[in-house]
Amino acid sequence: MRCLLLLLALPLCAERINVPLRDPARPALVKVSTVNGSIKIKAHTGKDVIVDLDDSPPRTQPAPNGMKQILSGGGGVNVEEENNVVTIKSPHGNNSYLVLVPETSSVHIRSVNAKELRVEGVEGEINADTVNGSILIVDAAGPVVAHSLNGRLTANMKQVPSGKPMSFSTMNGQIDLTLPATAKADLRINNQRGETFSDFDVQVATSVKRTESGRDKGPKYKLDLEHTVTAQINGGGPEISMRSMNGRIYIRKAQ
């Protein structure tokens, strides 16, 4: 049975929308998208998804004396719930959100110019994508797939989920990944112009590809050093792919 809840919130300041899930016993999937606003998602112990518009765009001018702001100018927000999938969209793409989600939720967040996409304490899968903003992921326990074209990617994992590949990619930003000291992982690192650092005991398996030319004259074979270097920490485990063209990559051991 399908359950659809559609709420069109008025563009008021300090708007809070409480979204009950169709089946609170099952993990939710929360999708949030905006163009210019920032997105902050925090896990909480409640069963509902709570959308808070307190993070509204900053006022360009302070309120005159004796007056308070009553419209944010964010353009409103659409919130839909269908079978535990909560979709939060801004028609004009200018809203910033604070979204409280049950701990077991998975989140998909997407923005173009967000200053920051931030996810804290979520145990499900995190999928974050932005063009110009940074991504900060704190205390994640599920697989993370994150991309920022120009921004920095920072992720602090409580654990590396078994059997779940993860991936981080950026063109011009840096990747800063912190893993538990005992985390087992296979690393795929593609860092063409940047540098990669780690305090783990990383076992690097350099991939050199030999190709026979089949000619009598000239080069007999060619050796290609693959762009992608594979490596292991703590004996290997699920795959973590990291790709940065121009930025540094840090793989840190949690203290």
Partner 1 sequence: MPCSDFAASIADTLTGTASAPERARAEAHLAECPACRANAALWDALGELPVAAPSPALRTSFQQRLRPAPAQPRWPWLAVAAAAAIAAFSFLAGRYTAPSLPSADIASLRGEVRNLREVVALSLLDQQSASERLRGIRYSTALEATGPEVVDALARTLSNDTSVDVRLAAAEALRRFPLSPNVTDSAWRLLDSDDSPLVQVAVIDLLASRKDPAIRARLMALQTHRDLDKNVRDYLQALLSNQRQQGNPYQ
- The residues binding partner 1 (CB under 8 A) are 29, 106, 125, 127, 129, 143, 145-147, 149, 163-172, 192, 213, 215, 218-219, 222, 227-228, 239, 241, 243, 245-246
Minimum Å distance from CB 100 to partner 1? 22
Compare residues 190 and 198 and give the one whose CB is closer to partner 1. Answer: 190
Minimum Å distance from CB 43 to partner 1? 18
Q: Which residues pair with 111 in a beta bridge?
A: 130
The total of other beta-carbon atoms located within 10 Å of residue 243's CB is 19
Compare residues 69 and 211 and give the one whose CB is closer to partner 1. Answer: 211
The total number of residues shown for the chain amounts to: 255
Spatial CA neighbour of 29 closest among 21, 17, 39? 21
Compare residues 53 and 233 and give the one whose CB is closer to partner 1. Answer: 233
**Phi (first) and psi of residue 42, to 5 degrees:** -130, 140
d(CA 173, CA 145): 15
Minimum Å distance from CB 169 to partner 1? 5
Minimum Å distance from CB 59 to partner 1? 32
User: Which residues fall within 8 angstroms of residue 215, CB to CB, at 6 or more apart?
Assistant: none
Compare residues 201 and 216 and give the one whose CB is closer to partner 1. Answer: 216
